[in-house]
Amino acid sequence: MKKKLFSNTKWLTTGFAITITVLTVALLVLRLTFLRDMASAQISKVETIEGNYLNYTYNQEIYFPSLTDEGNVLIQSAKENTSYMTVIITYEGLEEPLLDTGFIRPGESRAKLPLDKAKKLKLADGVYPCVATIKAYDMKTQDLLGSEEQDVTLFIGIKPSEAGEEDTGPGADGEEEGSEE
């Protein structure tokens, strides 16, 4: 009887160790692939005029494979919010915003969005340090309740892991923006 009990314990321990190993590998693979974009997500909140808070999450590093592809914005309004929110991303020196989410209801999110406004500006591949303006709006009147600015970086045609300091902004390839030869 003792021998059989020891044998079962040995198999249980081995099975447990194998299960833990498989789960660890699966989580590592998810972290390195699917959840990679979540690593740069920032959780923040905007204080509104009424003293309430608008809680949201956004991606600080947004990658666009090209100007025609969607980027991984990962903007989410918490479901407990009591106001709409918008996010407008602008680049210093450009008159028009590069990206505008429109109203986002509480509990909604925007995972991927295109750079529609940047297409007509014909931005070169590069790294663009930008400002995201997050605004809270009353759900009934659409009156502005509060806003704040957050730093965000757009990577166009360059993966964040491959970007260096020399890749920053327009004319990163050594030419002035809009110059002709």
Q: What is the CATH number of the domain that holds 81?
A: 2.60.40.2550
> What whole-number distance in Å separates Cα of residue 66 and Cα of residue 69?
5
Count CA atoms closer than 13 A to 132's CA, side-chain side.
24
For residues 156 and 120, membership in a common domain is answered with: yes
H helical segments located in the chain: 2-32, 116-121
- Whether pLDDT at 136 is above 60: yes
Domain that holds residue 127: 39-160
Place of tokens 């808070």: 53
- Whether pLDDT at 138 is above 80: yes
pLDDT score at 178: 41
Asked which of 32-36, 58-62, 82-86, 136-140 is least confident by mean pLDDT, the reply is: 32-36
For residues 48 and 26, membership in a common domain is answered with: no
3-class SS letters over 36-80:
HHHHHEEEEEEECCCCCEEEEEEECEEEECCCCCEECCCEEECCC
13 phi, psi to nearest 5 deg? -65, -45
* 103 located within any domain: yes
* 51 located within any domain: yes
pLDDT score at 51: 67
For residues 75 and 149, membership in a common domain is answered with: yes
For residues 65 and 153, membership in a common domain is answered with: yes
Percent above pLDDT 70 for the chain: 70
Task: Read off the pLDDT of each residue in 92-115 and give the average, rounded to a whole number.
Answer: 89
Q: In which band, very low, low, confident or very high, does the pLDDT at 46 lie, cut at 50, 70 and 90?
A: low
More confident residue, 50 or 139: 139
Domain count, the chain: 2
For residues 66 and 131, membership in a common domain is answered with: yes
For residues 22 and 66, membership in a common domain is answered with: no
Q: Which are the contacts of 85, defined by CB distance < 8 A and separation ≥ 6? A: 46, 54, 56, 77, 103, 104, 134, 135, 136, 137
For residues 86 and 109, membership in a common domain is answered with: yes
* 179 located within any domain: no
> What whole-number distance in Å separates Cα of residue 108 and Cα of residue 101?
12
CA distances from 73 to 4, 64, 132, 149 (A): 57, 9, 11, 16
pLDDT score at 39: 44
Q: Which of 34, 98, 111, 106 is nearest to 70 (CA)?
A: 111
* 71 located within any domain: yes
Q: In which band, very low, low, confident or very high, does the pLDDT at 164 lie, cut at 50, 70 and 90?
A: low
For residues 28 and 80, membership in a common domain is answered with: no
Q: In which band, very low, low, confident or very high, does the pLDDT at 22 lie, cut at 50, 70 and 90?
A: confident
Percent above pLDDT 90 for the chain: 29
For residues 97 and 44, membership in a common domain is answered with: yes
Q: Taking all residues of the chain, what is their mean pLDDT, rounded to a whole number?
A: 77
* 171 located within any domain: no
CA distances from 87 to 12, 26, 53, 125, 137 (A): 52, 34, 16, 23, 11
